[in-house]
Structure 1
Amino acid sequence: MDTAALQGSATGEGRRACLQRLAVALCAGGGPWLGARAQGVRAESLAVLYPEIGEPFRAIFAKILEGIDDRLQARVLRVAVPAEADMAGLAADMQRREPKLVIALGRAGLRLASVLDRRIEVVAGGVISPSEAEARDATVHSLAPDPLLLMQRLKGLLPGVKRVSVAYSARHSAWLMRFAQDAARQLGLELQAQEVGDLKAALRHYQEFFAQASPQHALWLPQDPLSVDESTVLPLVLQESWNHGVPLFSSNLGHVRRGALFALYPNNLELGRSLGGSALARLAGNAGPRSALPLRDVHAALNTRTASHLGLDLSPRLQQAFELLLPER
């Protein structure tokens, strides 16, 4: 869920309308200040920037905001950023409030954060593929599931798998492949990560993969719009993985609905709590270097039809390990 693709049509609102949306919101819990205050952090030193966006994505960001509030347990400024906001005007208003740190959600939140004073710390979330500049200037909690969690789930389901193949583009996924290589080493898997520069190269990779694939091989589909084209690549790999009995797992919940074996997807409430904790750690001087981090706050979905096709025993214990079973009964 990258909000650059979610925000839809332009709102056409000007600076005055944008500034009117700058409002202070109370935390949803309303309880004692057990987060920011307990760590000696003033609530007014924090602000949350989030996209003004329609359903169903508004509910997703609302759940992330709920998690942030729950972790901070303090009154913090919330700024809704319209799709065509006057960033200079919003930034000027923000800087008059003198926050020490902002939590930026989605592409809209990151765009506003990027024009703020460099002395303001940034913790970001709600984006899939952070750029090098974004990862250099902020602690970015990506929506791309941690490859270690994906491969651990794969090994738990199919311990006989020895090799994982993935096609990726450098622009969208090179940063994630570094985590993938480490994960494969930890789990004793061979990772065949093939960089592709265009759709033609991606298709060639998949054709070569299936020409020599066996049940000891698995195919991973990252959230990469170049290497995992929804209209061309996805139908091909779904059909071929079924025909060859090859496990196909994904970082995209929608792929499980269409036949991938399993996927991990965001636990938005816990992601919000992690963002709040990261913000408190950075303000307290306890955070590590700025970087992009894969998603560890996840739910898991399993396609039971595909699992049965691959010979998995769909025991109650196995099914209980997944928050979502598809096709839904």
Structure 2
Amino acid sequence: MINLTTNAGRRTRAGVALLTALATATTPAAASSGLAANRGIDLPGAGATARSTVGAIMDRIESGAAPARPDFVRPITLAQLEDQLRRPEMQASIGKGTIAVLYPNVDAPFRAAFTSIIQGIEERTRLRVRSYPVDPKVDTAELNATLKHNGTKVVIALGRQGLNATAGLDREITVLAGGVLLLSEAENVAGISLTPDPAMLFSRLRALLPDLRRVVVVYDPQKSDWLIKLAREAARSQGLELQAHVATDMSRAAQMYPQLIAAADNRRDAVWLPHDSTTVEESTILPLVLRESWNSGVPLFSSNVLHVKKGALFAMAPNNVELGRTLASSALGVIAGDGKRRGLTPLRELQTAINLRTASHMGLNLGHQQQRSFDFVFPQP
């Protein structure tokens, strides 16, 4: 039995009624007129009886009453009904609208991440969603017209390029961001950030190092203030102290790391590298922090999985298919009438990578069973 809210139930009943009307077109009267399915519920040639029946059904739906089942309608199974309701043209025709995906027009291997997210979206919606690769100078007016023509209700924008392409869309189209490193609450975008949820990072950290008591992080408030707020709460809930230090430029960050790591206890402290281009600059600061961590034995973990290959103990990476499924669930919620405004949330659809050489250097000897709990292991055998 399907449990439906009032609004969602009315929309589903509308879909049932529309299917009923379409089924009417399969009666002998309709068949003799040679009607196409996309001509909707206006049934010229099907006779006044059919038209009046459809009108009565729609009137009852508008009033909130359950539609009557005409005797001439062919039975339809629940599975057939659900399959029909999932079709994009059916969603548009009952006023729900469809889902579209905008993603950067990039070549392989970078495109693979976006196609995996789209795969997850289609698996969750059981629809073939319309996806549009967009260039940096996309014609937003033309894109907007195309989306409206296709009955788009929700756009899932992947990557910064995909999100930028939504700037000229009508306000009636809801935008959900995915796979984007949003750096400020001021952007006021709903969706899922590319940065891992601190709670999941800290949980994995405690599982690896149960004696750990403090996490040290250096961050730029203009880019990571929203994330640090979440991290403070996550640390507190797991019995950890978050020692957060502000650095508004690379020079200051480079000065702070050696001092902080030198003062840390390698049995009770760990250093976290968030997604922050100021304090975790790749060419200068990252090699510095990796060297200091290795020499001191202070564990270093990261929000960027690429850092594991370079020597960080562990990191987390997006599970792109699962991310697509979660984005699709949010989009379906919008289509179903969920008007609740949600902001940016950190990524919880994650995979984990471990560096066994670093773990061994720090006295962590992970058995085969523990290694199997990680999705990626470096160095690769």
State the TM-score bracket (shorter-chain normalisation): 0.7 to 0.9
2:71 equivalent in structure 1: none
Q: Does residue 113 of structure 2 align to residue 64 of structure 1?
A: no
Describe how 1:228-243 pairs up with structure 2 within 5 A: 228-243=280-295
Distance (whole Å) between structure 1 residues aligned to residue 153 and residue 340 of structure 2: 17
Describe how 1:1-329 pairs up with structure 2 within 5 A: 37=86, 42=92, 44-134=97-187, 136=188, 138-215=189-266, 216-286=268-338, 288-329=340-381
TM-aligned CA distance change 1:41 to 1:148, over 3 Å? farther
1:20 equivalent in structure 2: none
Give the conservation status (yes or no) of the 8 Å contact 1:36–1:73.
Answer: no
1:214 CA drift (Å): 1.1
Give the conservation status (yes or no) of the 8 Å contact 2:322–2:349.
Answer: yes
Decide which moves more: 213-222 or 83-92: 83-92
1:95 CA drift (Å): 3.1
Give the conservation status (yes or no) of the 8 Å contact 1:249–1:263.
Answer: yes
1:86 CA drift (Å): 2.1
2:68 equivalent in structure 1: none
Distance (whole Å) between structure 2 residues aligned to residue 173 and residue 321 of structure 1: 29
1:41 CA drift (Å): 5.0
Give the conservation status (yes or no) of the 8 Å contact 1:214–1:244.
Answer: no
1:232 CA drift (Å): 1.1
Computing the radius of gyration from Cα coordinates, the structure with the larger value is: 2
Give the conservation status (yes or no) of the 8 Å contact 1:164–1:192.
Answer: yes
Distance (whole Å) between structure 2 residues aligned to residue 35 and residue 283 of structure 1: 16
Q: How many residues were matched structurally? A: 296
Letter in 1 for 2:218: A
Query: What percent of counterpart residues are identical?
Result: 47
TM-aligned CA distance change 1:81 to 1:236, over 3 Å? same
Report the 3-state secondary structure (helix = DSSP H, G, I; strand = E; otherwise coil) of the residue aligned with 1:242. Answer: helix
TM-aligned CA distance change 1:293 to 1:34, over 3 Å? farther
1:245-302: CA deviations, max 9, x gaps? 1000001111100100000001111111111011111222346432111110111000
Structure 2 residues without counterparts, runs of 5 or longer: 1-79
1:89 CA drift (Å): 2.6
Decide which moves more: 147-156 or 96-105: 96-105
Aligned CA RMSD, in angstroms, stands at 2.2
Structure 1 residues without counterparts, runs of 5 or longer: 1-30
Q: Which has the higher contact order (CA 8 A, sep 6+)?
A: 1
TM-aligned CA distance change 1:34 to 1:295, over 3 Å? farther
Report the 3-state secondary structure (helix = DSSP H, G, I; strand = E; otherwise coil) of the residue aligned with 2:152. Answer: coil
Letter in 1 for 2:246: E
2:36 equivalent in structure 1: none
The normalised TM-score by structure 2 is 0.73
Give the conservation status (yes or no) of the 8 Å contact 1:33–1:72.
Answer: no
1:129 CA drift (Å): 2.1
